[in-house]
Amino acid sequence: MSATAVSRTVETWRQWTGKVLNGKYRLGQYLGGSNHSAVFLTEYGRGEDRRKAAVKLIPAAGEEDRLSRWEKDQGLWHPHLLRIFDKGQGELEDTRLLYVVMEYAEETLSQILPARPLTPQEVREMLKPVLQALAYLHGQRLVHGHVKPANILAVQDQVKISSDNLIDPLRPPATLWSDANSYSAPELRTGRISPASDVWSLGATLVEALTQGLPTANGGRRNLSMPETIPQPYQEIARNCLVTDETRRWTVAQITERLEPAPLPHMQSVVTQAVAMQRAASPPPRKIAKRNYVPLAVVAALVIAGFIGTKLSRQSSPSAVKRVAGAQQTSSPASRTEPARATAAGLVSGAVAQQVLPDISRGARNTIHGKIRVIVRLSVDPTGNVAGAAFQVRGPSNYFARKTMEAARDWKFTPPEIDGKPLASEWSLRFAIGRAETEVYPSQIAPAR
């Protein structure tokens, strides 16, 4: 494909928003791309199964074998590997394209790191699913080849890695080194790639997740150096990933063992004895009616997760509304949080008639350290319905911000009045989302009381 054609394609990506590919995939919001590809929001499925999806487009020239590779990738399945729904070829404005339709990820690690590094606990919860997915791919004799923050994604309540560009190490692409980036292992320069290459990339990603910066070259890139402030076990893991000689790098299994060491045999014995003693001393359990329980989903790493939720709850409290994580939700509207009050100017204050708290999954809460604070300002019409909403404080995560905004839009109010006439109003909702509960503090800010 010529340089002119590439340049023309880059300028075309955003202009294709709203167009329909092959008569079935409408190109929605432009999600990002490069000189060689673009990703748009779309929809996949029919009826009740219809869902958000992402469609990736690449020019077909020079990519003749890509469809067959996607065909193989579509047959893979792992809970932490991004699912491929469909693939094919089409044409837009005389440009022949290949496309792949995948699960839609609400956030990526690359969107979080510019704002802040991850905590050690967040890194642990990110690493575990990534290691599981890599172990699966390596067991299939495949290499991911592109481990980096942009390809570590949050899909509902799970962390996943991308799956649309996997590599067979026995038949690496001719563009292997030209496609390399700051996360790529040094052996790619010779056209060689292996599972050890993913380990190098994971080590670089680990350092960036904790420090917001990549490791630096040391002695002609024989090994890389990193800040001594990186805590254990991550310091040791990173050093054993970023070894130039790939035969000396740790494997995914070794990283997993260091991250989650197995208990010593004598400790297993102690635990077994303690459990047996407690059972012997405890009264027989009472029989209870059989109930269906939904197991907790795998904990999503950091605040990059988008998560499954049920209907938003509605609760009330005189000053602050709280919901304890995991508590039963109610669907009935809440009563007023405070009585209407007449001011000296004859203004009767408004009140909250229905309160809705964001539905945050247990997995998302487990990533919180301290409080996630989000403030939403609402414009309320004279009937008490929300007419507009905007963030005053968005907080560090798109996921928590989105969940909070969804809840805020469902609030209802008893409007303020003057001389019996209802007025439009403005309210501030200050949310504090913690690991155990969510609090919200509503206040009317206009008309002033």
pTM of the model: 0.59
The total number of structural domains that make up the chain: 3
- Residue count of the chain, please give it: 449
- 322 shares its domain with 408: yes
> Would 297 be classed as within a structural domain?
no
Task: Provide CB contacts within 8 A for 172, sequence distance 6+.
Answer: 191, 192, 193
Label residue 449 by pLDDT band (50, 70, 90).
Answer: low
Is residue 294 scored above 70 in pLDDT? no
- Check whether residue 87 and residue 144 sit in a common domain: no
| pLDDT tens string 15-36 | 888 989 988 999 998 888 777 8
Confidence of residue 94 (pLDDT cuts 50, 70, 90): confident
- Give the percent of the chain with pLDDT over 70: 77
Q: What is the pLDDT of residues 189-234, one digit of tens each?
A: 889 999 999 999 999 999 999 999 998 876 544 567 788 889 999 9
Average pLDDT over residues 159-164: 93
Domain of residue 434 covers 310-446
User: Average of pLDDT values for 260-289?
Assistant: 48
Partner residues linked to 240 by β-bridges:
none
Residue type (1 letter), 60: A
CATH code: domain of residue 17? 3.30.200.20
Q: Quick check: is 283 in a domain?
A: no
Report CA 10 to chain centroid distance, whole Å: 27
- Alpha helices (runs of H) in 17-82, residue ranges in sequence order: 66-74
CB-CB neighbours of 151 under 10 Å? 24
Token pair in block for residue 384:
């008490």
- Burial bucket for residue 9 (CB in 10 Å: 0-12, 13-18, 19+): buried
What pLDDT is stored for residue 303 in this prediction?
Answer: 38
Q: Are residues 186 and 125 in the same domain?
A: yes
Binned at pLDDT 50, 70 and 90, residue 92 comes out as confident
Question: In terms of domains, do 77 and 193 share one?
Answer: no
Which CATH number belongs to the domain containing residue 130 in this structure?
A: 1.10.510.10
